[in-house]
Chain A
Amino acid sequence: MLCAGMTGDAANRCTGSMLYLIEQLLNGIQLGMLLFLLAAGLTLIFGIMDLVNLAHGSLYMIGAYFAATFAEWTGSFVLGAIFALAATAAVGMALEVIAIRRLYGRDHLDHVLGTFGLLLFFNELVRLIWGPAGLTLSLPSEMLNAVQILPGLYYPLYRLVIIGVTLAVALALYILVMRTRLGMLIRAGASNREMVGALGVNIKLLYTLVFGLGAALAGFAGLMQAPILTVQIGMGENILIAAFVVVTIGGIGSIRGAFIAALLVGLVDTVGRTFVPDLLHVFLSESASSSLGRALSSMMIYMVMALVLIVRPEGLFPATGK
């Protein structure tokens, strides 16, 4: 590769930093895929029901709590994950029927008020059921290993599994939306909901299904992330904002946009966090560069978003037909 021409110590150091870079890129892709799961649901709900859903992060949190609980009951990570997925989708659909559908067609501010209320409610409900302390979800032992993906580069198997599984979900979602009758109705609903309703489609049911799908995707993101992070109250709040950034950069309503924006945001965030402090260290002292670097790297995804919106006020891939 790039280090081919070098010899001895220089070559070793060069290979080392190349491997480090690859590892960070993989971390970025993994974060991006996770963001995609959240953003796909958000963008569908945005695009089709024109709903700003601040409670989407709560479904992510609930998915993680369900997974931790069910995994403990069944003693199996996979079984726990499957039950959690179904349960989160059920919670999402119930939520849509009870509350969310009454907000369709209303002002975005009513959405903010209502779903902000739901966010408070779910945080408190989780505290009531599971208590204020966080939970942990441990992985099956075979997932804990690191695998060698390049000579000298070991990478945690579970993170590779996350990337693989989410890619599969993204592909399935693409097929669902672009190649099936349900997907056709979803796309039609996004571009002209009155017309779809007038053609005799049960639009209420369609909306409930879409919301359930979004909830399942959010819950899936939560349960996949649960073994890496602590499962705790409010875990959905910061990642919700990152998912909003993805949706906005990608263009509201566009799944393809969400996918590309998710990868972009994941990579920018991870690579920024890794390299910005080092880069600043060239000019600044150790402590100054670490604190400034921390701040600057956390800001990077928002800077990207602001830049994108300044150049393209409707995101990278504005959904057509609106």
Chain B
Amino acid sequence: MTGPGGIFAARVITPRVAVNAAVLVGLALVPVYAGLAGDPFLLTLITRVIILALAALSLNLIMGFGGMVSFGHAAYLGIGGYAVGILAKEGIGSGFVQWPVAVAASALYALVVGALSLRTRGVYFIMITLAFAQMIYYVAIGLDRYGGDDGLTIRTPSQFGGLIDLNNKMLFYYLCFALLLAAIYLVWRIVNSRFGMVIRGARSNERRMRAIGFPTFRYKLVCFVIAGAMCGLAGALLANHTSFISPAMMHWTRSGDLIVMAVLGGMHAMFGPLIGALVFLLLEEGLSHVTDYPDLILGPLLLLVAIYVHGGIDALLFGARRG
């Protein structure tokens, strides 16, 4: 058998790669298992995990790699979701319209928020992104035509001209999964590009990056917009998944959830947000079966991770990584 220095010595298959690959294979097999075991709820749960992993991944692009801690990321979920919901209610059911509008609206919002917020630093940046998200939250509450506080049920999912039927839960799952994989690949490409080097450089020492001659504000703004657009897509998926949109999906505690997922998984790891979303949501679900008071355990667990684990689950499993 492969002794010490076997396959792991090849430096291609590190333990991290092995675990990530196992997670991906596991996720790819979920619909098969759910079909065999006759457990449609599992498929629903993991679909949710994958969609929120996409949102957490987009947050991690700016937060983990760019050092921009956005405390209003759930706003993009809402904007993407409301784009689908509002268009559906107005009789435009085509996903070819709904999804691009969701992405474009989120990108536009990110452009405005980013342009205004990136002038501030540190805690002020956290707070101003929170403030903008609160504004969008209250805009949604004021949309009486689209349910106001109570939200809006979406009667038919996005139509793709017979190409993909989103009513097929398994198909929808694989679509979300494929989009997540594409997004992880995109983030990986971005982070390792020249553009990504500038973003990471600006995180560790912005003044120096500017002194070298990089207009860091513009780079960060573009990064902020990419992340917003990506999360808007997650919002469109989420609206199709739950067939329901409401202001609650933009409540500030939802933004907190996304931060928790990204930090829990490990912010400097490409698969961190996925692992974080998986662990957080499964823990939440699992604990609610065991006890009537799940947060009594979940809360202190998050606190312990914050206190004792630097670098989230990724660091816990594979040791801290450089950079």
Contacts and interface: CB of A to CB of B under 8 A. Distances in A.
Contacts of A99: 303, 307
B38 interface: no
A314 B135 CA distance: 21
Interface residues of A, number: 52
Interface size class of B (residues with CB under 8 A): 35 or more
Given A128-B296, A245-B127, A313-B119, A103 B307 contact: yes
Interface stretch (B47-55, B139-147, B173-181, B219-227): B139-147
Interface in A31-54: 46, 52, 54
Contacts of B124: 248, 252, 309, 313-315
Contacts of B119: 309-310, 313
Interface in A108-167: 108-125, 127-128
Given A113-B259, A299-B138, A305 B128 contact: yes
Contacts of A305: 127-128, 131
Interface in B59-81: 63, 69, 71
A303 interface: yes
B167 interface: no
A244 B303 contact: no
Nearest to A125: B296
B259 A116 contact: yes
B294 interface: yes
Contact of B253 (A106, A122, A237): A237
A241 B296 contact: no
B303 A121 contact: yes
Given A109-B63, A248-B124, A241 B299 contact: no
Interface of A: 46, 52, 54, 99, 102-103, 106, 108-125, 127-128, 237, 241, 244-245, 247-248, 252, 287-288, 291-292, 294-296, 298-299, 302-303, 305-306, 309-310, 313-315
B252 interface: yes
A54 B257 CA distance: 13
Given A113-B305, A114-B303, A124-B296, A302 B135 contact: yes
B14 interface: no
B267 A241 contact: no
Given A291-B142, A313-B120, A313-B124, A117 B259 contact: no
A61 to B, nearest CB: 14
A35 to B, nearest CB: 15
Contacts of A314: 120, 124
A306 B293 CA distance: 38
Contacts, number: 150
Interface of B: 63, 69, 71, 116-117, 119-124, 126-128, 130-132, 134-135, 138-139, 141-144, 148, 252-253, 256, 259-260, 263-264, 267, 293-296, 298-303, 305-307
B123 A118 contact: no
- Classify the interface of chain A: helix, strand, loop or mixed: helix
A116 B302 CA distance: 8
Contact of A244 (B127, B141, B263, B293): B127
Contact of B144 (A116, A127, A287, A310): A287
Given A109-B267, A112-B71, A310-B116, A120 B298 contact: yes
Contact of B123 (A46, A103, A116, A117): A46
Nearest to B284: A120
A302 to B, nearest CB: 4
A321 B179 CA distance: 48
A305 to B, nearest CB: 5
Nearest to B138: A298
Nearest to B264: A113
Contacts of A245: 127, 131
